[in-house]
Amino acid sequence: MKKNAFERRRVLGLLAAPVAVSLVAALSACASGPSPARDRAVLLQRAQEFWKSVQDNDPVTSWKYEELSKKPGWTLQAYLKREGIVYDAVEVQDVLSLEGDKALVNVKIKYSVPILRMNNQEVVLKDEWVRIEGVWYHADRKNIL
């Protein structure tokens, strides 16, 4: 009798091992896979890093976050010529929408345009972002302000 019970346990153990391995793999994939909360957190982090570089007047760093950096025909040198706005304060507020590979982020900006003698302007932008090959980039836009 003891031998049959031992044999049944051994067979059940052999059958259960692949199921347990598959279950652990499936649970791990779910935990590390994409989720709306994770997508939002990653997007907010990228937006904060981008806008900090813009506010710090660091166009070399902000270029790395731009969709334009992924488009043929655009160069860092061309991007650097798009200056003229002074960003006095920037606050990335929240993600307004995130659908597939497109998103809108609320960004509160205090800015000046010295050449036009416009000082202490304030706006809340619906800032566009696109995901390219799994990475969020600040969307190409004609004029954000």
**pLDDT per residue over 30-51, tens digit each?**
444 557 899 999 999 999 999 9
Distance CA 126, CA 73 (A): 26
Residues in the chain: 145
Query: Above 90 in pLDDT, residue 16?
Result: no
With respect to residue 144, please indicate whether it lies within any of the assigned structural domains. Answer: no
The answer to whether residues 96 and 59 belong to one domain is yes
- Print the domain residue range for 43: 35-138
Q: Which residues contact 7 (CB under 8 A, 6 or more apart)?
A: none
On whether both 84 and 94 belong to a single domain, the answer is: yes
Confidence band of 10 (pLDDT split at 50, 70, 90): low
Residues 77 and 122 occupy one common structural domain: yes
pLDDT at 64 over 90: yes
Same domain for 71 and 100: yes
Report whether 63 contacts 83 (CB < 8 A): no
User: Does 22 score more than 80 pLDDT?
Assistant: no
Residue 25 predicted with pLDDT over 60: no
Q: Angle CA(96)–CA(98)–CA(102) in degrees, nearest 5?
A: 115
- The DSSP bridge partners found for residue 125 are 107
How far is it, in rounded angstroms, from Cα 65 to Cα 53? Answer: 10
SS3 state at 85: coil
Question: Is 42 found in the same domain as 22?
Answer: no
| 44 and 15 within one domain | no
Give the domain CATH number at 110. 3.10.450.50
Same domain, 66 and 22: no
Q: Is the pLDDT of residue 11 over 60?
A: no
Express each pLDDT in 65-124 by its tens digit.
999 999 888 888 888 877 778 999 999 999 999 999 999 999 999 999 998 999 999 999
**Hey, is 145 helix, strand or coil?**
coil
**122 shares its domain with 98:** yes
